[in-house]
A and B are shown apart, each in its own frame.
Chain A
Amino acid sequence: MAKPDLLPGTLDMLILKTLTRGPMHGYGIALSIKRSSDDVLTVEEGSLYPALQRLLLQNWVKAEWKMTDTNRRARFYTLTPAGRKQLGIELSEFQQMIAAIGRVLSDAQEA
């Protein structure tokens, strides 16, 4: 089944939003996005890890090695205050854009 690609630029926002639920490792983030989107959005690992490095560099998330429930070592990512602020910015920009697109589309329907 063909899956829609993520809108460009939204992956960072999705990761940040996912992390508001608490610290998570990479696999958990991918799984969480997939589940909460009812399997519509699949985060490719090829984009996930470079994106996490990008967020780390900006200090929007921080990473810690911890033990999982099954006692395996994994890197857990936590949202930082700066990351939370960034998420707010990206959300409002995203909503503005969605609203704008919506207006254009409804105009187009009326015409």
Chain B
Amino acid sequence: MTFLNKLSLLFRRRRFDAELDEEMAFHRSQAEKEFLSAGMSPENARYAAMRRFGNRTRIKEHSREVIGFRAETIMHDIRYALRQLGASPAFTLVILLTLALAIGANTAIFSVINGVLLKRLPYQQPDRLVRVFLSNADYPKFPLNPFDFLDFRARNQSFESMAAFSRGDVQLSGEGEPVRLYGFGITSGYFHVLGLHPQLGREFDRASEIPGNGLQAVISDRLWRTRFGADPSIIGRKITLNMQPFTVVGVMPAGTVHPGNVYHSLPYGEDVDVWWPFSFAGDPNRRGSHFIEGIARLKNGVSISQAKGDMNGIMSQLGNEHPNGDKGWAVLVIPLYDEVVGQSRQMLLVLSGAVIIVLLIACANAANLLLARASSRQREIAVRLAMGAPRSRVVRQLLTESLLISFLGGGLGLATAYGGVKALVALLPSDFPRAQDIHVSAPVLVFTIVITIATGMLFGLAPAFQAASADPKEGLQKGGRTTIGSGRQSRLRDALVVAEVSLACVLLIGAGLMLRSLLNQLRLDPGFQRVHVLTASLSLPHATYPKDEPIGRFYDQLAANLNELPGVESAGVGSDLPWTGYDENAGGFTIEGKKPPAGQDFHGRYHMATPGYFSALGIPLVAGRFFTAADKRDAPQTIIINRIMAEQYWPGENVIGKRMSFDDNPKSDKDWITVVGVVGDVKDQPDSPGAKNAFWFPVLQQVWTNDMSVVIRARSDPRLLADALRNEVRRLDPSLAVSDVESMDSIVDSSVSTPRFAFALVGLFAGLAIVLAGIGTYGVISYSVSQRTPELGIRMALGAVRSDVMKLVLSHAAKLAGLGTALGVIGAFAMARLLKTLIFEVSTADPVTFATVAGMVIGVALLAGYIPALRATATDPVNALRSE
């Protein structure tokens, strides 16, 4: 009822006002008559009536409030605020741009955090999923042995279900060009553990784990649609994988996400196209080789530490049962979530810290601008208070203004974030988890609205209360020419600038440390020559290359043919490439005439190479020779080792000609292998602490894998050789697919992509922060100069020269900058430890960075103070005094 009445009055507002006016005029005239008849003079009677009636405008406003909707007064405030903003476009532009950048940056980073850290993993009850690894002193995180896995699966009390998987890419042929597809060998129940179900068919059962039953496949939705036309009768069909017929038993739905793995790692994502049954072949008592990875679902109510205890109990039983392979290992049980996002969490936390700092600086700037404006609006506010506006109404009006500003800024920020998120995702390092989950989504919008309101409140409250608490009489008397409450207010403004400068300082120091770390990584001698090198991988199907000998012959022949190509300086084939995350099992061996220290063995990473491999990669020869065509199958066995292994096991000796053996009991000469060369060290990853012992066999003498990498050193742009490489492979075997064709340059670049990305963003935010802090300093100094014009005029009239005035103003800026920088340096000292895992070979208290940043911040602040100082020295004393 009330609502309807209000609604009808809404459309008759003008009439309502007119009637109210007439009614009140009538009331006044009646009162006037009363006073007249009481004997007052007409004039006195009129004034008495008016006095008694009181403030007409206020009565009208009250009456209007009764009949009006609350929203109407808010709309009124908003219209008023818009007029105010339009009246000072420069102020509005600076404040809106500042807020748009700050809120946009926060929204963009939150989109990443929401997609990567907050969104649930796309599995059933993902918080119950764990990864299982082994660990010992040499290998902190290692895959499982297949037979260990079978024992774990059979004996554990903690898991509802457990499965294992191992990377094994496959080549699909038959229709069209052969292609290499990402594949995994999986045990039965792998998808059951994840809580995923095939959209067609079924997943593998226990029978498929028996050797000989392995010719089955589950394929991805993508492969089903792109290669098989979404054929609904695909189940039971045979497809050719690795030159063998596999029967399709299942098709997974779209959105089947690979949980990521560490051994021949493939990052979390939807990249896997084929799953084949992992079969447990070989002697179950040999527990030495580790190449499958465990995943399990915790039973309800079982904690991670309980599961860990359970598994380690089993591991120590296994250590007793199989002392040769299972002794000395501990079991790691790691939540899947930590495994997926663990690496990126630290970086995201640092980035969100950086954008929050930017937002705080933007708030301080906005508050300062509003404070400056509030003092020039003192007269307006004093008039409103004198007219009877309640203080709460003035506070509401001013808060409406700051909220309006923050919402306009937030809207622009959201638009910035839309573009920013796209750019961010494009810039993300290629191994960054869950990049496909990063969007400006509903939770992100909520976040933006919340920070927008919080921002408006944060920068609006202090100025609003300060303005409304002013004494109207004072405000009217001073007439807005001079500041009111200037002592307290200028202290607040100075404090805000000090805070801004110190926050910007913290951010710049962080960015500086990251830049030093990045430069260290880029300057690092990688141990190989990165330019003009083309790389690719090949995999020989087991069906056509079942034994070592044809594999070795194929790769040796390919390398020889590639070396003959025009434009090729040297070419070779090896079991792996530097910096590609290869983490091969390390083998133990015997060294002729030496005994390992008690409780240890001689060990090193094993690799294979053709003669041209080292020169193609540009890995230097330290002693002896590279492999040659003479290192044939029937020739005496040879080996090349790296420098660190030579120094560790043959310190001070000439290692060339020394012999080692992989036989437990070497007897005859043919059991011994002779070291013929020592090559330079290459670390696993650019930021690895040091190189590991490593050795290489010639491919013609030792081969145990079908997968190898090709390396070609070109005379010019190596990418021009990609087609020639494909031709040469096809000439030898037309059924083979060449994959991962990439220049060594891009491999090196992507190995530093994470630190580069982190630095680029933190550096961007730090740059933004220092610009904002500079604007803030400029604003405060130039405001104080304008307020002090009369004072400066008097000083100059009394004989102060320009340099005195300059000094006076600059010393104010220097004081603020000095204090801010000091606080910033202390803050950075405390916070730089958070960066520890993100920076490489730089101390978190790096004096160069700290000193450079401190100098830079003070420089920027002085520059920001210099412009108003220049203006101050140009003050004409006469004008300055007159203006008072």
- Chain A interface residues (CB < 8 Å from chain B): 25-27, 30, 44-46, 49-50, 53-54, 56-59, 65, 72-75
User: Is residue B63 contacting chain A, with contact meaning CB distance below 8 A?
Assistant: yes
**CB distance A27 to B62 under 8 Å?**
no
User: Is residue B215 contacting chain A, with contact meaning CB distance below 8 A?
Assistant: no
CB distance from B60 to the nearest CB of A (A): 8
Q: Which of B615-638 contact A (CB under 8 A)?
A: none
Q: Which of B18-46 contact A (CB under 8 A)?
A: 19-20, 22-24, 26-27, 29-31
**CB distance A73 to B22 under 8 Å?**
yes
Stretch at the interface among B1-9, B162-170, B176-184, B864-872: B1-9
Given known pairs A27-B31, A59-B1, the reply for A49 and B26 (CB within 8 Å) is no
- Chain B interface residues (CB < 8 Å from chain A): 1-2, 5-6, 9, 19-20, 22-24, 26-27, 29-31, 52-55, 58-59, 62-63, 65-67
What residue of chain A has the Cβ atom nearest to residue B67's Cβ? Answer: A53
CB distance from A45 to the nearest CB of B (A): 5
Chain A residues near B27 (CB-CB < 8 A): 26-27, 30, 45
A101 to B53, CA, bound (A): 34
Chain B residues near A30 (CB-CB < 8 A): 27
**CB distance B1 to A45 under 8 Å?**
no
Ranked nearest first, the 9 interchain pairs of A and B with the lowest CB-CB distance are: A27-B30, A50-B62, A53-B66, A27-B27, A50-B63, A50-B66, A57-B5, A53-B63, A75-B23
CB distance from A87 to the nearest CB of B (A): 18
Chain A residues near B55 (CB-CB < 8 A): 46
**CB distance A72 to B26 under 8 Å?**
yes
Identify which of A53, A59, A74 contacts B26 (C-beta below 8 A).
Answer: A74
Identify which of B5, B20, B30 contacts A59 (C-beta below 8 A).
Answer: B5
CB distance from A95 to the nearest CB of B (A): 26
CB distance from B35 to the nearest CB of A (A): 13
Given known pairs A46-B54, A46-B58, A46-B59, the reply for A57 and B26 (CB within 8 Å) is no
A45 to B31, CA, bound (A): 11
Chain A residues near B6 (CB-CB < 8 A): 57
CB distance from B22 to the nearest CB of A (A): 7
Q: A53-B63, A57-B2, A59-B1 are in contact. List 8 more A-B contacts (CB 8 A).
A: A27-B27, A27-B31, A45-B59, A49-B62, A50-B63, A50-B65, A72-B26, A73-B22
CB distance from A110 to the nearest CB of B (A): 44
A27 to B27, CA, bound (A): 5
A44 to B62, CA, bound (A): 13
Chain A residues near B26 (CB-CB < 8 A): 25-27, 72-75
**CB distance A49 to B24 under 8 Å?**
yes
A-B contact pairs, 18 of them (CB 8 A): A26-B26, A27-B26, A45-B52, A46-B58, A46-B59, A46-B62, A49-B20, A49-B59, A49-B63, A53-B66, A57-B5, A57-B9, A57-B66, A58-B2, A65-B19, A72-B26, A75-B19, A75-B26
What residue of chain B has the Cβ atom nearest to residue A58's Cβ? Answer: B2
A51 to B571, CA, bound (A): 97
A72 to B19, CA, bound (A): 14
Given known pairs A46-B54, A49-B24, the reply for A57 and B67 (CB within 8 Å) is yes
A21 to B184, CA, bound (A): 95
CB distance from B53 to the nearest CB of A (A): 5
CB distance from A52 to the nearest CB of B (A): 8
A97 to B820, CA, bound (A): 63
What residue of chain B has the Cβ atom nearest to residue A25's Cβ? Answer: B26
Chain A residues near B9 (CB-CB < 8 A): 57
CB distance from B65 to the nearest CB of A (A): 7
A74 to B27, CA, bound (A): 9
**CB distance B59 to A50 under 8 Å?**
yes
**CB distance A26 to B62 under 8 Å?**
no
A44 to B54, CA, bound (A): 9
**CB distance B66 to A74 under 8 Å?**
no
A46 to B66, CA, bound (A): 13
Chain A residues near B65 (CB-CB < 8 A): 50
Chain B residues near A50 (CB-CB < 8 A): 59, 62-63, 65-66
A32 to B62, CA, bound (A): 23
Which interface residue of B30, B31, B54, B67 has the most chain A CB atoms within 10 A?
A: B30
**CB distance B1 to A49 under 8 Å?**
no
A42 to B376, CA, bound (A): 42
Given known pairs A45-B59, A46-B54, A53-B67, the reply for A26 and B23 (CB within 8 Å) is yes
Identify which of A45, A53, A56, A58 contacts B53 (C-beta below 8 A).
Answer: A45
Chain B residues near A74 (CB-CB < 8 A): 23, 26
CB distance from A22 to the nearest CB of B (A): 18
Chain B residues near A45 (CB-CB < 8 A): 24, 27, 52-54, 59
A74 to B66, CA, bound (A): 21
A72 to B58, CA, bound (A): 25
A54 to B27, CA, bound (A): 19
Chain B residues near A25 (CB-CB < 8 A): 23, 26
CB distance from A12 to the nearest CB of B (A): 12
A74 to B24, CA, bound (A): 10
CB distance from A16 to the nearest CB of B (A): 16
A58 to B9, CA, bound (A): 13
CB distance from A50 to the nearest CB of B (A): 4
A53 to B64, CA, bound (A): 8
CB distance from B14 to the nearest CB of A (A): 16
CB distance from A75 to the nearest CB of B (A): 5
A72 to B28, CA, bound (A): 13
A75 to B23, CA, bound (A): 6
What residue of chain A has the Cβ atom nearest to residue B3's Cβ? Answer: A57
CB distance from A29 to the nearest CB of B (A): 10
A62 to B447, CA, bound (A): 49
CB distance from A72 to the nearest CB of B (A): 7
Which interface residue of A26, A46, A65 has the most chain B CB atoms within 10 A?
A: A46
CB distance from A14 to the nearest CB of B (A): 17
Given known pairs A27-B30, A44-B54, A58-B1, the reply for A49 and B23 (CB within 8 Å) is yes
What residue of chain A has the Cβ atom nearest to residue B52's Cβ? Answer: A45
CB distance from A46 to the nearest CB of B (A): 5
A50 to B59, CA, bound (A): 7
CB distance from A109 to the nearest CB of B (A): 39
CB distance from B57 to the nearest CB of A (A): 11
Chain A residues near B62 (CB-CB < 8 A): 46, 49-50
Chain A residues near B31 (CB-CB < 8 A): 27
What residue of chain A has the Cβ atom nearest to residue B30's Cβ? Answer: A27
Chain B residues near A49 (CB-CB < 8 A): 20, 23-24, 59, 62-63
Chain A residues near B29 (CB-CB < 8 A): 72
Chain B residues near A59 (CB-CB < 8 A): 1, 5
A99 to B870, CA, bound (A): 78
Chain B residues near A75 (CB-CB < 8 A): 19, 22-23, 26
A32 to B63, CA, bound (A): 21
A25 to B26, CA, bound (A): 9
A54 to B68, CA, bound (A): 11
**CB distance B23 to A56 under 8 Å?**
no
Chain B residues near A53 (CB-CB < 8 A): 63, 66-67
A12 to B157, CA, bound (A): 76
CB distance from B534 to the nearest CB of A (A): 84
